[in-house]
Chains A and B, each alone.
Chain A
Amino acid sequence: MKLRIDEYSNLDSPFHRWDARHKLIGLMALIFAFSFVRDLRMLLAMVVVTVIIYIISKLPVSFLLRRLRYPSFFLLAVVLTLPFLSGQTIIMSIGSLDLRQEGLLAALLIATRFLSILTIGLVLFSTTPFLTNIKAMRALGLPAIMADMALLAFRYLQEIGQDLQRMQTSMRLRGLRKRRLSIRGLRILAWLSGSILVRSYEQSEWVYKAMILRGYGHAPHPRGEFHTHSRDVIALCVILTIAAGFIGGDILLGHGSAALLQ
């Protein structure tokens, strides 16, 4: 199992060159601004900004589509149910199902916000190595223990994935075949999960001993070395202005469409 969130972090684009701390602040602010939007008239601007940012980041479209695959199942559930369950104004009937205007608009808002936020999040975490992002969070004040937990999780998820693969190979070599859901299959899955958990726990004890022996917790860990250039600050100001524009625009427009959704 390989964590591939930062597989394109070695490309060259303005977002790749942007200082990690400023990028974190700027794009998180933009994500927050997107989540604040409730006026449907802001959706087009949201989509345009998201597309422009993605194009500038030079990340492949196939990468975005791969990453959207599983979250899309959740979105599909919302899009398929909300228009039929939420609201009063019926705009169409399909058999016994009534398509409602409020539900449709709500689904549109949720889907657009969801996809835009996810895309911006991908740009944030895929244009910087994961390790650098953790260090940037630490530099911005993330508690050391949380940063360390994230780093250890990143490091040892690879190990757990390899352990799991080896165990599955061993099971196949001893005749286990994929079957339909069965009591035996569930039992085997439970054994596998339990083994992984126990191994991980035992390894975590050894890792902790190794950390203590090299002085973990003994002295404050130094913050990462980051250097700010004027272009980093300018980019941050631009993104923050855009984020403020979305929030301000949504307030000024008075949540017009939001009233319809209530």
Chain B
Amino acid sequence: MLSQELGEPVLTVSGLWFSYPDRPNVLKDISLKVMPGERVGLIGPNGAGKTTLFLGLCGVLKPSTGEIVVLGKPVVNGDFRPEVALVFQNPDDQLFCPSVWDDVAFGPQNTGLSKDEVEARVKKALSIVAGSELADRPVHHLSEGEKRIISIAGVLAMRPQLVIYDEPSANLDIRSRRRLIRLLQASKETILVASHDLELVLEVCNRVVLMDKGSIIADGNPREVMGDDRLMEAHGQEKPHSLVPHQIPHRHSK
């Protein structure tokens, strides 16, 4: 909290390199700073290193070299940092408790809170994602959209200050996607969103980072970065539809 009050970065990544045993240099010299309240979109082709970067930021993977500092404290591999939360791409990887209530309560229970505090956190998190009516449902009875919002509730219940979303709109129908966008737009935390859904990134984020082959290629205003045809195409992307000048205007029914 103190770092945020003083205007210090929530996240500082310096000279990060990472290799898997069978894949060298998945991340190459990544340096990044994220300030409090920023909504950063991370775009890039498959294999660019986005998920690997996220796992490093959370302390799940240990970098080969480099440093990651979150809220003024270096990230140590294996440490539990409830102030940083990751929403996985596949909600089934994250929803491992049999019931919704148990899953959302899982994180707060691991921080040693009292039963009443856990209950309050679960209720609050479920209400934020508009999922209160799902509390008693078995997880395997949820639809994809419901699983997504409950997986978000599960991390929000820990009251993180930095929330990382890995492909949050994958497999969602239009209604669920819109619900997710509204949720992300209303969130008070600093967020990082990796997504191939460039329209979502445009709607939600105020900064975008383009990655490719383990390196950061561009970092800046979403409209400027994603509006650059050559840049986007050179790195396996396309300009989002809403940034394409329209030859034929949209007709809206009255």
B102 within 8 A of A: yes
Inter-subunit contact A219/B112 (CB<8 Å): yes
Number of residue pairs A-B, CB distance < 8 angstroms: 75
On chain A, the residues within 8 Å of B78 by CB distance are: 212
A8 within 8 A of B: no
Inter-subunit contact B92/A219 (CB<8 Å): no
Inter-subunit contact B98/A154 (CB<8 Å): yes
Q: What separation, in Å, do the CA atoms of A213 and B82 have in the docked complex? A: 8
Q: What separation, in Å, do the CA atoms of A217 and B78 have in the docked complex? A: 11
A55 within 8 A of B: no
CB-CB nearest in chain B for A162: B140
Inter-subunit contact B86/A155 (CB<8 Å): no
B60 within 8 A of A: yes
A179 within 8 A of B: no
Inter-subunit contact A210/B158 (CB<8 Å): no
On chain A, the residues within 8 Å of B140 by CB distance are: 155, 158-159
Chain A: interface size category: 20 to 34
Mark contacts of A132-170 with chain B using CB atoms, 8 A cut-off: 1 yes-contact digit, 0 otherwise. Answer: 000000000000000000011011101100000000000
Inter-subunit contact A203/B110 (CB<8 Å): no
Would you give the shortest CB distance from B164 to chain A, in whole angstroms? 10
Inter-subunit contact B85/A213 (CB<8 Å): yes
CB-CB nearest in chain B for A219: B112
Would A225 and B158 be within 8 Å (CB), given that A211-B96, A213-B58 are in contact? no
Inter-subunit contact B107/A155 (CB<8 Å): no
Q: Which residues from chain B sit less than 8 Å from chain A, CB to CB?
A: 55, 58, 60, 78, 80, 82, 85-86, 88, 90, 92-99, 102, 106-107, 109-112, 115, 118, 139-140, 154-155, 158
Would you give the shortest CB distance from B178 to chain A, in whole angstroms? 26
Cross-interface CB contact of A151 among B90, B97, B115, cutoff 8 Å: B97
Q: What separation, in Å, do the CA atoms of A218 and B158 have in the docked complex? A: 14
Q: What separation, in Å, do the CA atoms of A214 and B98 have in the docked complex? A: 16
Cross-interface CB contact of A209 among B60, B85, B92, B110, cutoff 8 Å: B60
7 closest A-B pairs (Cβ-Cβ)? A215-B110, A206-B93, A214-B107, A219-B112, A158-B140, A210-B94, A218-B80
Would you give the shortest CB distance from B62 to chain A, in whole angstroms? 13
On chain B, the residues within 8 Å of A212 by CB distance are: 60, 78, 80
Inter-subunit contact B102/A215 (CB<8 Å): no
Q: What separation, in Å, do the CA atoms of A137 and B88 have in the docked complex? A: 31
Q: What separation, in Å, do the CA atoms of A215 and B98 have in the docked complex? A: 18
